[in-house]
């Protein structure tokens, strides 16, 4: 019993420590400057944990029982321990355009905080907090004023994003058939600014137009999974999720102000317009996958996703010119020998590939995103605790057709803490 108490104290202490680190990291500037985040509600993070990122984003059909799966709520019931997970994500990127201009950027942020536990033999529940989307961009343009020798400077920048707090329930209908549901509260603010300044020297005045959009509402996800046994060691995993179309409530405030060359306000912000009640439309999202699994040894599979972003509407009721997007990923997870006295045999190794069309339209063309990933999980401590590392390298967009090319490298660090909470001990 004392060993169990010590293990529980260790998990709680480590969890609180990681929570503090994660909260500090959350104060960072997102994942760096991304011009694409100026469109729609910004760049959507997705639902994958660091473990899934290392294997091409696979998670809709496959779950390793020692790690949380946030992609498909139906698979939560496969976790038979209480699990607390923290994920941190950092990104370095190089942005390039067709004029030969380059920019190096770096950012990092909290990826998720999740806690899940078995309620009964057939039911597991969990709570989580993670970013839903982020906006982080800044671009500068210069244009000569017709009929004069002067230029005007235009700076467009935006910050903010949406977060989601999630309550998940997963149920086992039979030994191999699972269903689940996520209920997520989406909340956050996005600020888009446009600054214009006539460059005449000395007393240049900047005219700032700022739009603050605030959102808050509930988003649902339904999931199902089937895991038939093929023979003694092999299983087939099939899973699918659907996020129904949602009207996300929001409001907007548009303000105007003037600033002198020294940065001092010439006038207090003046409200141009307000919209106290409105909504944006988040289109339905579909995901499905199939994975072939050798129990506690090997898992290999593919996953598909589709979301008709052309059905998106903003607070003004317009589409914003977004396009339908799809993705395909492939990945594998391999563990040399789960029951071994050699530490290196206990490490799960992961490999993945992912290709997606982005929902943005630049010059009538949709940018694409292609990446490869590597990952592993290092067992820590006496219980089944792990530190997971995932590395992702890829490219989004090109330097042609007016697009911005982003070559990026992401580092994901995750901590999985397992413990047998809420289990009644028996005395032999």
**Dihedral-angle region of residue 56 (phi above 0 means left; psi in -120 to 50 means alpha; beta otherwise):** left
Distance of CA 149 to the CA centre of its chain: 47
- Give the closest residue to 53 by CA, choosing from 374, 303, 309: 374
Q: Which residue range is the domain that position 397 belongs to?
A: 2-419
Convert the pLDDT of each residue in 295-331 to its tens digit.
889 999 999 999 999 999 988 888 878 999 999 999 9
Task: Compute, in degrees rounded to 10, the torsion defined by CA atoms 130, 135, 136, 141.
Answer: 170
426 belongs to a structural domain:
no
Task: Evaluate whether 47 touches 68 at the Cβ level (below 8 Å).
Answer: no
CATH number at residue 120: 2.40.160.60
**CA pair distance 416, 196, nearest whole angstrom:** 48
221: left (phi over 0), alpha (psi -120 to 50) or beta: beta
Is there a contact between 169 and 123 (Cβ–Cβ < 8 Å)? yes
CA distance 76 to 120: 12
| Residue 278, in any domain of the structure | yes
Cα dist from 348 to 187, 380, 386, whole Å? 35, 13, 10
User: How many domains does the chain fold into?
Assistant: 1
Amino acid 1: pLDDT:
42
Judge contact between 366 and 323, C-beta under 8 A: yes
Q: Using alpha carbons, select from 71, 177, 58 the residue that is nearest to residue 128.
A: 71
What pLDDT, on the 0 to 100 scale, is given for residue 419? 79
Q: What is the pLDDT, as a whole number, of residue 149? A: 76
Q: Is residue 56 part of a domain?
A: yes
Residue 197 is predicted with a pLDDT of 82
Whether residue 296 lies inside any domain: the answer is: yes
Within-domain flag for 258: yes
Residue 318 in domain: yes
Determine the Cα–Cα distance for residues 300 and 281; give it in Å rounded to an integer. Answer: 35
Token pair of 336 as six digits: 């040399």
- Give a yes or no: residue 178 inside a domain: yes
Spans of the chain, pLDDT less than 50:
1-29
Q: Which residues contact 106 (CB under 8 A, 6 or more apart)?
A: 32, 90, 91, 92, 93
Spatial CB neighbours of 16, under 8 Å, sequence gap ≥ 6: none
Query: Does 273 reside within a domain?
Result: yes
């Amino acid at each position: 019993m004392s060993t169990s108490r010590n293990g529980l104290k260790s998990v709680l202490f480590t969890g609180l420590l990681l929570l503090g680190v994660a909260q500090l990291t959350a104060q960072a500037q997102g994942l760096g400057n991304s011009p694409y985040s100026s469109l729609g509600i910004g760049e959507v993070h997705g639902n994958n944990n660091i473990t899934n990122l290392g294997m091409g984003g696979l998670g809709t059909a496959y779950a390793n029982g020692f790690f949380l799966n946030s992609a498909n709520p139906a698979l939560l019931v496969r976790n038979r321990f209480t699990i607390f997970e923290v994920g941190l994500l950092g990104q370095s990127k190089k942005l390039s355009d067709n004029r030969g201009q380059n920019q190096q950027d770096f950012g990092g942020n909290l990826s998720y905080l999740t806690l899940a536990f078995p309620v009964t033999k057939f039911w597991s529940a969990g709570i989580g907090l993670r970013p839903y989307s982020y906006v982080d961009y800044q671009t500068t343009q210069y244009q000569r004023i017709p009929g004069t020798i002067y230029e005007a400077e235009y700076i467009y920048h935006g910050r903010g994003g949406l977060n989601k707090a999630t309550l998940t329930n997963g149920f086992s209908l039979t030994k191999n058939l699972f269903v689940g549901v996520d209920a997520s509260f989406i909340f956050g603010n996005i600020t888009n600014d446009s600054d214009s300044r006539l460059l005449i020297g000395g007393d240049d005045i900047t005219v700032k137009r700022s739009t603050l959009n605030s959102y808050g509402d509930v988003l649902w996800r339904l999931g199902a999974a089937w895991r038939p046994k093929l023979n003694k060691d092999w299983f087939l995993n099939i899973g699918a999720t659907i996020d129904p179309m949602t009207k996300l409530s929001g409001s907007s405030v548009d303000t105007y102000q003037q600033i002198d060359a020294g940065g001092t306000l010439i006038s207090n912000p003046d409200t141009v317009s307000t919209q106290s009640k409105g909504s944006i439309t988040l289109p339905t999202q579909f995901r499905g996958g199939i994975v072939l699994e050798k129990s506690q040894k090997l898992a290999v599979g593919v996953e598909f996703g589709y979301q008709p972003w052309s059905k998106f509407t903003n607070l003004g009721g317009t589409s914003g010119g977004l396009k339908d997007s799809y993705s395909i990923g492939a990945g594998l997870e391999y563990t040399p020998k789960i029951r071994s006295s050699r530490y290196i045999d206990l490490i799960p190794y992961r490999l993945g590939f992912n290709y997606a069309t982005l929902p943005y339209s630049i010059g009538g063309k949709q940018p694409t995103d292609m990446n490869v990933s590597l990952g592993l999980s290092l067992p820590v401590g006496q219980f089944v605790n792990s530190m997971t590392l995932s590395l992702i390298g890829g490219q989004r967009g090109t330097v042609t057709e007016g697009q911005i090319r982003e070559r990026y490298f992401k580092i994901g660090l995750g901590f999985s803490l397992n413990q047998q909470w809420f289990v009644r001990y028996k005395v032999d």
